[in-house]
Amino acid sequence: MKYKFKSLFRFRHNTSVCIIVLFCLSLVGLRLGLVSTEAKTFDRIIAQVNNEIITEWELTTLVKQRSMELQRAYGVSREEAIRQAEQDRPQLLDQYIRQLLLVETALTLKDQIQVTEQEVDQRVNSFKESAGVKTEVDFLEQLKREGFSFPAFREQTKRNLMAEQLIMKRVLPKLQVRDQEIQDFFEKNRDQFPNKTDEVHLKHIFVLFQPTLEDFEISRQKVEDAIADLTLGDDFEEVAVRMVSPSRIRHEKALGKLIILPLDEVENLSRIFQDTLSNLSSGQISSPVKSPEGYYVFRVEEKSDQQISFQYFVVPFEIGQTARAKAQEQVNQMAKKLDQGTSFDQVLQTHRQVSSTDNESDKDGKRRGGDLGFQPLSSLSPEIQKVVKVLEVGVHSQPVETPSGIHIFTVVDRQASELTKEEKEQINLYLKDQKFQKEWKVYTDLLIEHAFIKYFDPQLIAQSGVNEVGSVNE
């Protein structure tokens, strides 16, 4: 089982810890100095690495720390963390062996790797802070309880720092990330960037569903039934949810909600809102108000000389089969002209001219389509987004039906979303981490190949390990 954050950017690295976080000391979570001599002498030996032995006690300590890490960092339950940590025993042992070899190699390169006393002091103080030790006396007492001396702990801290320097010298030069790698990662992992979406310059031809007299009557009866429910005391917002489709509720979150406005701001609303609200008193519910979108229903809760509080919803007209068939026939004729080579703008202009003649409420034809400008893909409805996302520039789409009518789209231009400087840096650090893990393993694999490693328990050999039980690597 793997535990991952849901999004890349829930990782928050900084430059100084980018490498160390993935260093084996952090992965294993154990300072090599904290290994009791008594435990090493009398506990069961599970592996030998050159002249060093590894005991059951050491591995069990690693397992416990892995369990705590799963609980703290990933929110895993205690029972599941213990189970997973036990399952990770071979991998934890493998990491521990690699760290032992790194320390051993670093000690052979003392002329190349230098650690100052100040650096040791800083690491010791950092360890105290992370362990929650407040005073020097408490720290010494803790070491004593575990059977360690302060000089031994300090010496091992120095060795660990030498091992870190070694891995940085061998691995750090290989961690360069090119700009193209950052862009490629972004393209392959767009789902981790929910706020990053391409924009498309759209034009559309729109054939509005024209309800028949029968459709109008069905819609009006539906709205009057809703008003009757409101009159009997039903909650306005609950009725709005019943009357309006879920997609419209999500798109217009004010539907059904209580809106409070200063009275002088009502003039900024549409004519339907102004006319209806001006004629309603506190506590009144409007009759159905017909509009191009459907029937509106308003309720004024309170009205004074200073402000008004009200609720509203609009129920789109019921569209029967006759109206749908008529719209489909219209859009098919236009799609045919487009397929025959007539320009999109020409078909659009003709459709708008005819529509404005037929419909006095749409004299300029805007409700029949036009230039939508640049639109974020994420702002489009799912059915439209699905079509537009794969549409090439200059190509028209197949007819796309929505609740209010049928569209034909064309993409005039595309504008790729760009990463911010911070986002690029986050991806850069993430990719460096990935490269570090790979290069760290490559280097420690090389150390393993030239080491004497013997396992005394076949069940503790990691699947990725290169050794067999009792084998000797020379």
pLDDT digits over 374-417, tens only?
A: 988 888 888 898 999 889 999 999 999 988 899 999 999 988 78
Q: Indicate if 411 and 347 belong to the same structural domain.
A: yes
Q: Is the pLDDT of residue 5 over 50?
A: no
* Interval 201-231: pLDDT, tens: 999 999 999 999 999 999 999 999 999 999 9
Mean pLDDT of the 321-340 span: 95
First-to-last alpha carbon distance for the chain, in angstroms, is: 34
Residues 401 and 438 reside in one and the same domain: no
Evaluate whether residue 2 is within a structural domain. no
pLDDT digits (tens, 9 = 90+) for 347-378: 999 998 886 655 545 544 567 899 999 988 88
**Placement of tokens 């300029």 in the chain:** 364
Q: Kindly tell me the burial class for residue 157, based on how many C-beta atoms sit within 10 Å of its own C-beta (0-12, 13-18, 19 or more).
A: buried
CA distance 432 to 429: 5
Residue 187's pLDDT is: 83
Mark whether 52 and 91 lie in a shared domain: yes
Q: What is the pLDDT of residue 30?
A: 39
Asked whether residue 470 is domain-assigned, the answer is no
Residue 287: predicted pLDDT: 94
Do 37 and 139 lie in one domain? The reply is: yes
CB atoms within 10 A of CB 174: 13
Rounded CA-CA distance 60/93 in Å is: 10
Chosen domain end from 297, 316, 335: 316
Which residue's structure tokens are 């009159």? 231
159 and 19: one domain? Answer: yes
Distance CA 281, CA 300 (A): 7
411-437 residue pLDDT tens: 999 887 888 898 899 999 999 999 998
> 12: alpha, beta or left, given left = phi > 0 and alpha = psi -120 to 50?
beta
Per-residue model confidence (pLDDT) at position 401: 92
Q: Are 159 and 32 in contact (CB under 8 A)?
A: yes
Sheet with 199-208, edge to edge strand ranges: 369-376, 199-208, 405-415, 400-402
pLDDT of residue 72: 83
Q: What is the pLDDT of residue 279?
A: 93
pLDDT band at 463 (very low <50, low <70, confident <90, very high): low
Contacts of 159 (CB under 8 A, 6+ apart): 32, 103, 106, 107
Q: What does the pLDDT read at residue 410?
A: 95
pLDDT of 243-296, one tens digit each? 876 666 666 667 788 999 998 899 999 999 999 999 999 999 999 999 888 899
Are residues 339 and 299 part of one domain?
no
- Length of the chain equals 474
Three-state DSSP state, 310: strand
The predicted pLDDT at position 88 comes to 93
Task: Please state the domain count of the chain.
Answer: 3
Which of 273, 300, 316 finishes a domain?
A: 316
Each residue's pLDDT tens digit, 157-215:
898 899 989 988 888 888 889 999 998 998 888 778 767 778 899 999 999 999 999 99
pLDDT of residue 91: 93
Residue predicted with more confidence, 179 or 3: 179
Tell me the average pLDDT of the chain: 83
Structure tokens at 41: 């002498």
Report d(CA 458, CA 456) in Å as an integer.
Answer: 7
In a domain, 1, yes or no: no
pLDDT digits (tens, 9 = 90+) for 142-162: 888 766 788 888 888 898 899
Residue 376 maps to which CATH number? 3.10.50.40
Q: For residue 15, what pLDDT band results from cuts at 50, 70 and 90? A: very low
Look at residue 380 in the predicted model and tell me its pLDDT.
Answer: 87
CATH number of the domain encompassing residue 85: 1.10.4030.10
- The residues pairing with 427 across neighbouring beta strands, listed in sequence order, are none
pLDDT, residue 366, reads: 64
Question: Taking the CB of residue 111, how many other CB atoms lie within 10 A of it?
Answer: 6
The answer as to whether 3 is a domain residue is no
Query: Does 242 fall in a domain?
Result: yes
Check whether residue 92 and residue 158 sit in a common domain: yes
| CATH value at residue 298 | 3.10.50
Q: Find the domain containing 343 and state its range.
A: 197-211+321-415
Q: Evaluate if residue 464 carries a pLDDT over 80.
A: no
The pLDDT > 70 percentage for the chain reads 84
Residues 163 and 123 in one domain: yes
- Kindly give the pairing relationship between strand 289-290 and strand 52-55: unpaired
174 and 204 part of one domain: no
Given a cut of 90, whether residue 321 has pLDDT beyond it is yes
Q: Which pLDDT belongs to residue 308? A: 94
Type of residue found at 428: N
**Same domain membership, residue 351 and residue 443:** no
pLDDT, position 13: 34
Q: Are residues 45 and 162 in the same domain?
A: yes
**Residue 345 domain-assigned (yes or no):** yes
Same domain? For 23 and 112 the reply is: yes
Q: Cβ distance 207 to 427 under 8 Å? A: no
For residues 56 and 44, the answer to whether their CB atoms sit within 8 Å is yes
User: Is 469 a member of any domain?
Assistant: no
Confidence at residue 359, expressed as pLDDT on a 0 to 100 scale:
55
Does residue 176 lie within any of the structural domains? yes
Task: Concatenate the DSSP letters of all residues of 126-157 into one string.
Answer: HHHHHHT--SHHHHHHHHHHTT--HHHHHHHH
Q: Of 299, 316, 333, which residue constitutes the final position of a domain?
A: 316
* pLDDT category of residue 55 using cuts at 50, 70 and 90: very high
> What is the spatial distance between Cα 309 and Cα 463, in angstroms, rounded to a whole number?
68
Band of the pLDDT at 48, cuts 50, 70, 90?
Answer: very high
